[in-house]
């Protein structure tokens, strides 16, 4: 089983990580680095995919960035864990729907580890809880190396995400675990970034088919 390098990037601007992902995707294509998973939180920003750009969406109350993943708008901010898999998918794995399903299953298993019942919904890919979407997935591929990833909303403050038509859904459909009353796991531990990372790493091998290496801290000052 191939190893998966785990990089904990702390709290970092989306623009910084976006540039890092582009470089690392090419490095992975060239076999200069192993498969890599970046775990990060971003300062508040709404990313605009091609659909949002075509629809002329304007969000004057939010900082925005244009990105090249599929879809419409996605919120990033405090209280959200973002996972970016820079993975070279093997020939037998090369199905976009199949890869998305694996990531959905991975997130659902990790939520179940925290006592939360997540599921798929025909309205939109991602992971849903209590009729609301709490996890978004958006990927782009180059030579079957993935970039961008999945965002899990655990405790986004001030209803900043609920006012947005994320992924074209009605405002209020996308929310966070805490807003739905899922603030603690079955052991009474707060479901925060640390708890989610713990669960994701436990289930990573089963669903992504890679063996996690010892997590490393990453910052822009370090070589990726």
Catalytic annotation, pick one of 83, 114, 166, 167: 167
Gap between the Cα atoms of 15 and 169, Å rounded: 25
- Beta strand 124-129 pairing with 132-142: antiparallel
Torsion of CA 81, 84, 85, 86, to 10 degrees: -160
Q: Which two tokens stand for residue 67?
A: 């990105």
Q: What is the DSSP letter of 154?
A: S
Gap between the Cα atoms of 167 and 199, Å rounded: 26
Annotated catalytic, 135? no
Gap between the Cα atoms of 118 and 203, Å rounded: 15
- Beta strand 216-217 pairing with 3-11: parallel
Catalytic residues: 167
């Amino acid at each position: 089983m191939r190893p998966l390098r785990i990089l904990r990037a702390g709290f970092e601007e989306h623009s910084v990580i976006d540039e890092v992902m582009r470089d690392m995707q090419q490095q992975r294509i060239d076999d200069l680095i192993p498969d890599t998973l970046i775990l990060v939180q971003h300062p508040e920003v709404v990313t605009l995919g091609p659909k949002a750009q075509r629809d002329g969406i304007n969000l004057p109350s939010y900082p925005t960035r244009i990105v090249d993943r599929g879809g419409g708008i996605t919120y990033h901010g405090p209280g959200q864990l973002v996972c970016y898999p820079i993975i070279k998918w093997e020939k037998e794995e090369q199905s976009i729907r199949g890869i998305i399903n694996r990531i959905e299953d991975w997130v659902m298993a990790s939520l179940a580890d925290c006592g939360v019942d997540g599921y798929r919904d025909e309205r939109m890919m991602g992971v849903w809880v209590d009729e609301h979407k709490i996890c978004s997935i958006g990927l782009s591929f180059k030579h079957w190396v993935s970039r961008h990833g999945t965002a899990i909303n655990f405790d986004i403050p001030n209803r900043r995400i609920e006012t947005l038509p994320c992924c074209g859904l009605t405002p209020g459909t996308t929310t966070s675990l805490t807003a739905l009353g899922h603030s603690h796991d079955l052991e009474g531990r707060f479901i925060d970034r640390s708890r989610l990372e713990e669960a994701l790493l436990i289930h990573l091998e089963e669903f992504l088919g890679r063996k996690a290496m010892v997590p490393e801290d990453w910052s822009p000052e370090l070589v990726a």
